[in-house]
A and B are shown apart, each in its own frame.
Chain A
Amino acid sequence: MKFPFHVIPGDELPIYRQLMRQVVEGVAGGHLAPDDQLPSQREVAEALVISPLTVKKAYDELEREGYIRTSRGQGTFVSAAPPALAEREKRERVRATAQRLVREAFLVGLSLAKVQALVEEEDAALRKERRSMTDGPSKRRQA
């Protein structure tokens, strides 16, 4: 079982949104694979010292959005096929980060071309990380 959660006190996002984001990002970054089991709501609440109702809210929303599924008596798992977002939703989801990015770049005087290069660098790093996750340890030994 994986425990993909942590709490950032004083964060801009409410705690249930933080938990949701950690699952969505875990799926996107390959840290969470389809059918991985997630800890029970109670385990999350007690480990992070947060209200069980907050965890329930995050799990309910994630289930509604199709990222996780709960089987009665068996537990909660990452969905076999996590949802594909509509193009507009994808853009909206990334927009806030993009806004912050361009503002910070403006403040420190980084050109748009350099920001684009930076984004590409990060993208390459993420792809590399994903490849090593999916290849598994046996293939890595061969290489």
Chain B
Amino acid sequence: MNALELRDVRRGYEGERDVLCGVSLDVKPGEVVALLGRNGAGKTTLLRVTMGLLRPAGGTVRVFGLDPRRDPVEVKRRIGYVSQEQILPGDLSIDAVFEIHRQLFPTWDRALESQLCRRFEMPLATRLDTLSVGQARQVALVCAIAHRPELLLLDEPAGGLDPAARREIIEAAISLLSEHGTAIVFSSHQMADVERIAGRIALLHGGRITLDDDLDALRESYSLAVIPAEGTNRAAIEGAEGCVRLRRRASVWHALFAHTPSQTRDILRTRLGGAEVTCRAITLEDLFVEMVEDPS
């Protein structure tokens, strides 16, 4: 059974255009999926719909086969969620917040809790509203994983953190992965983090998933061709086999191809004749930019 199954999920906010216009996504147990997309693309909305915090306007959401709006308690027991903003009560101490969670979750693991507290050197008696952003995120992370969820949702886990704090969060996620094979869906703008932990990426753009593939496969089967604009017509490139995106950058075309650099070179050589074409493997950051920038 899939850890998560979204089918044609739609959701908007009152008076605005739909943020999600038919999103489908499957996540298998143990899979780590990075949710990419520009600011406002709907990543947070998608995670909140999955948690059952927002009702989808259409389509279905299933978490281990359950509907989070129908079985909120069971679903929340099997999911861990770290939101971007601080949602825990600020006037409580860290330990008091943990105590509430210990009582809420039958599977809460005290040993894991203390292990994480030691790792993060957590000041247990301190009130939440006096913590730094990094510390607050760490508390939220302990709350999200100490009940040993089977699916972990992280909304920009690194947002607003310095590199050291970011690394600590990633390290904790990795220990969780190697010990329990928890499925993880996380949104992030940090491509280096995405490369470190994701097995798959899903790109949310224009309300839909426009790219959903194994990360290594994407890196190895896509390439970027740079072609001088002068003397090359747009249709000739666009019509080439495997051309996914084409956009104009100053005096050159950037063409994204679903082929290796040498295959792309061969295709373009045949099609464009003598034009000076350079083809190279694509980094994740370039891939992201090519996919979400306006093609103008």
Interface residues of A (CB under 8 A from B): 7, 9-17, 42, 45-46, 49-54, 57
Contacts and interface: CB of A to CB of B under 8 A. Distances in A.
Interface string B160-181: 0000000100110011011000
B219 interface: yes
Main secondary structure of the interface of B (DSSP, over half): helix
12 contacts: A9-B192, A13-B281, A45-B174, A46-B174, A49-B167, A49-B170, A49-B196, A50-B197, A51-B177, A51-B196, A52-B178, A53-B32
Contacts of A54: 199
B216 interface: yes
Given A9-B195, A10-B192, A12-B283, A53 B177 contact: yes
A51 B175 contact: no
A51 B283 contact: no
A91 to B, nearest CB: 13
Interface in B170-204: 170-171, 174-175, 177-178, 191-192, 195-199
Interface string B267-296: 000000000000011010100000000000
A10 B282 CA distance: 10
B209 interface: no
The 6 closest A-B pairs by CB, nearest first: A52-B178, A9-B192, A14-B216, A14-B219, A12-B281, A51-B197
B229 interface: no
Given A12-B280, A15-B196, A49 B216 contact: no
B215 interface: yes
B18 to A, nearest CB: 33
B241 interface: no
A45 B171 CA distance: 9
Given A14-B215, A14-B219, A45-B174, A50 B281 contact: no
B85 interface: no
Contacts of A7: 196
A9 B175 CA distance: 20
Given A14-B219, A16-B216, A50 B177 contact: no
B91 interface: no
A62 to B, nearest CB: 15
A131 to B, nearest CB: 35
B109 interface: no
